[in-house]
A and B are shown apart, each in its own frame.
Chain A
């Protein structure tokens, strides 16, 4: 029996492809019809062919702690996620506003701190955050831009509203999968792709290079740009080498670089060569053992000195982590208003700040319904998922919140939107999110596409690759 969506059940979730009456959403009709017209077994064969192509091309991520087969292909679903032109226009406007405000905020926080003096947001939230870098105070970054590459996580709730779940302003990853997924999908569903008028993502590497070159001192006509990786055993190594390859620049490790005579150089077969711009995919903590963690062997000793003197550019600038701190996130509406005088376009997920008495009382009374997160932690640490927690865990968190309220925030548990994925021989709905990528150079550019992550486990809300997540190609329609 050929595959179709007739028996596909959206189960009262917001589905990105099929509406609640079982009809394809506008823009998805061509794709759905194409899939339904394929001969028996064809889509399954195409899915297998796509996976084999990724395996042979070594499009993998690294799994820590196992000796053999330490690389895995990231599970990939063949049915693309479709974003309507109108939705995208809204997302793009919202993201541009957000990135603009966040950069003004970063420049202010590491200089005059006007926003704190004007009491638009509470000062202790900022100054006590571990992601605030005293080493960056007074830094004059090239062109005043701190965050050049951003990957913002978006989710859609059951009412169809899109929210920002998290700003990733440090070293956001995943864009290589956007480009590779597209390559594979173009080969797998060429007719539907062509007829749907999907916007191109392929010029991302060229735009990234342009963004990086823009950071170099003016007098350099052809600056030397490099990508700095922790090395081939890093989980995102594929992406680092992919981006270097696509931009045609060197991929370097910390040990390839050396600070000498006030500049950064790389060791080449013909001696030392000066490096002007570093797209670093190493966290702040590790980029320079003289400025940050002394035990780091991944970084370049003395790099921060050269950076401070304007003799090398770093993207992103160190210190950007303060702006994606969870407590700071909750003040973003105030931040946007303060710097731009505008209301925030893309809303945050409603956030209760436990430092605030009224919010705190609400949180303590509703621990069984809310998600509680520690403000200075990431990666799911220090977190309570109310609906899945025991009374004892709730009591424990109530105690923690009372003891140090400003270390916690809480958010309602969202009902993430879903999209169909191929499961054996039929389609089932799975929860998804979306990470678009934003470049900030001469102007702010939002790549028309993004990484759609899928929680492949039935009913799961976790889209991370380490916990059974996969990905889909994202088709932004023109």
Chain B
């Protein structure tokens, strides 16, 4: 398929997944706030720290109030990672590959965008935001379902999968990281009721609470991290995402799974291999935040490698001098 088209499909699904996850971020904080009534001040700065956009936020907003942060992450057009920006980019990408995806998928991408755009004009929306954020999540799930039901599992689908899964791995790691940024009044709160409530809220925002309970029953910080990073069966865990992204990457190149034919395969394969043979104790020992930080760096590196391996292609013969016409 065309390199440009592969690039657009990859980013279409990345942006949709990103929009969904930004909704999850906000949701976790809303949940925390509800659960914490009076025991802790509302904390909204951690959200912009986690998404890595704090600098940009600080430039244009006086303080990290609930209202400011929610607006910044949801409807701010100048923030390229706001939900509105994400669905707009996703739709633009979908529009540029309309002939590749099914018309049902395009229609859903279009509806998703219209939903958020219409909501951005609703002045009272952020006063009672739960319904909106869950409809963002559902719109993204609906897109995934439609994709599953209407698109052939060919090359285009594999690029779509890669975009979605790499984005999700990154965002699950960041959801887990929210906890790191939340300033606790004293170290003693670790292991207390408040602590447990926070971890449960965090699981909930990754749609992981029920699945976690089936697996581990009791809330325990190490186990939560274990579940969200290393669980093999939960579809939002980092390991599960990278495992499936690797399958798609090899389906695209056709090279066997125990070898690599480009930098992307090398980077992703190495990371997956390491996670496959890692225990949560080692991660905790290294420091959870440090581990997640490094993980995010490596995912960025893999994204760059995918760009280089598939989306840029330059002619190699002498005739290519045509590319720079004489003046």
Chain A residues within 8 Å of B, Cβ to Cβ:
55-58, 232, 237, 241-242, 244-245, 249-253, 255-256, 258-262, 265-269, 271-272, 289-290, 294, 301-302
**Beta-carbon contacts under 8 Å, B89-132 to A:** 92, 95-96, 98-100, 103, 106-107, 110-111, 114
Residues of chain B lying within 8 A (CB to CB) of residue A268? 1-3, 313
Instruction: Please determine whether A269 and B319 come into contact, CB atoms closer than 8 angstroms.
Output: no
A-B contact pairs, 19 of them (CB 8 A): A56-B111, A58-B95, A232-B92, A241-B96, A241-B98, A242-B99, A244-B99, A245-B99, A250-B5, A259-B322, A260-B319, A261-B319, A265-B315, A267-B3, A267-B4, A269-B1, A269-B252, A301-B322, A302-B319
> Given the complex of chains A and B, what is the CA–CA distance between A20 and B204 in angstroms?
70
A253 to B6 alpha-carbon distance, docked (Å): 14
Q: Is the interface of A mostly helix, strand, loop or mixed?
A: mixed
Chain B residues within an 8 Å CB radius of A258: 315, 320, 322-323
Counting residue pairs across A and B whose Cβ atoms lie within 8 Å, the total is: 85
**CB neighbours of B6 from chain A (8 A):** 269
Q: Select B4's contact among A58, A245, A256, A262, beta carbons within 8 Å.
A: A256
Q: Is the CB of B317 closer than 8 A to any CB of chain A?
A: yes
Minimum distance in angstroms from B89 CB to a CB of chain A: 12
In the bound complex, what is the Cα–Cα distance between A244 and B1 (angstroms)? 14
> Could you tell me the distance between the alpha carbons of A299 and B317 in the complex, rounded to whole angstroms?
20
Choose from B107, B317, B319 the contact partner of A57 (Cβ within 8 Å).
B107
Q: Is B38 an interface residue (CB 8 A)?
A: no
Q: Given A57-B107, A242-B98, is A272 in contact with B325 using a C-beta cutoff of 8 Å?
A: no
Which residue from chain A places its CB closest to the CB of B316 in the assembled complex? A260
Shortest Cβ gap from A477 to chain B (Å): 29
The DSSP consensus for interface residues of chain B is helix
* For the complex of A and B, 10 pairs with smallest distance between CB atoms: A245-B99, A244-B99, A267-B313, A241-B98, A301-B322, A302-B322, A58-B110, A267-B3, A269-B310, A241-B99
4 more CB-based (< 8 A) A-B contacts, given A268-B3, A269-B6: A251-B99, A252-B2, A268-B1, A301-B322
Q: Which of B5, B96, B313, B317 contacts A232 (CB 8 A)?
A: B96
A265, B315: Cα distance in complex, Å:
10
Whether the pair B4, A255 counts as a contact (CB closer than 8 A) is yes
B-chain residues with CB within 8 Å of residue A237 when the two chains form the complex: 95
Q: A251 → chain B, closest Cβ, in Å?
A: 5
Number of B residues whose C-beta is below 8 Å from A? Answer: 31
Write the residues of chain B forming the contact surface with A, with a CB cutoff of 8 angstroms.
1-6, 92, 95-96, 98-100, 103, 106-107, 110-111, 114, 155, 159, 252, 310-311, 313, 315, 317, 319-320, 322-323, 325
Cα separation A245 to B315 with both chains bound (whole Å): 27
Residue of B2, B103, B155, B310 touching A266 (CB-CB under 8 A) = B2
Most buried by A among B1, B2, B95, B107: B2
Q: Which of A55, A57, A244, A271 has the most CB of B within 10 A?
A: A57
**B154 to A: closest C-beta gap in Å:** 12
A294 to B325, CA, bound (A): 8
| A294 and B114 alpha carbons, distance in the complex (Å) | 40
Chain A residues lying within 8 Å of B99, measured Cβ to Cβ, are 241-242, 244-245, 249-251
Asked whether, in the complex, the Cβ of A260 is within 8 Å of the Cβ of B2, the reply is: no
- In the complex the two chains form, what is the Cα distance from A56 to B111 in whole Å? 6
Contact A301 B98 (CB under 8 A): no
| Nearest CB of A to B96, in Å | 5
Residues of chain A lying within 8 A (CB to CB) of residue B98: 241-242, 245
Q: A267-B313, A269-B252 are in contact. Are A250 and B92 (CB under 8 A)?
A: no
Smallest CB-CB separation from A231: which chain B residue? B96
Indicate if the CB atoms of B107 and A290 lie closer than 8 Å: no
Q: Are B2 and A57 interface neighbours, CB within 8 A?
A: no
Give chain A residues whose Cβ lies under 8 Å from the Cβ of B95.
58, 232, 237, 241
Q: A252: which B residues are within 8 A, CB to CB?
A: 2
Q: Once bound together, how far apart are the Cα atoms of A289 and B324, in whole Å?
A: 10
User: Are B325's CB and A290's CB within 8 A?
Assistant: yes
A residues in contact with B159, CB < 8 Å = 269
Q: Which residues of chain A come closer than 8 Å to B325, judged between CB atoms? A: 289-290, 294, 301
Q: Are A57 and B103 in contact (CB under 8 A)?
A: yes
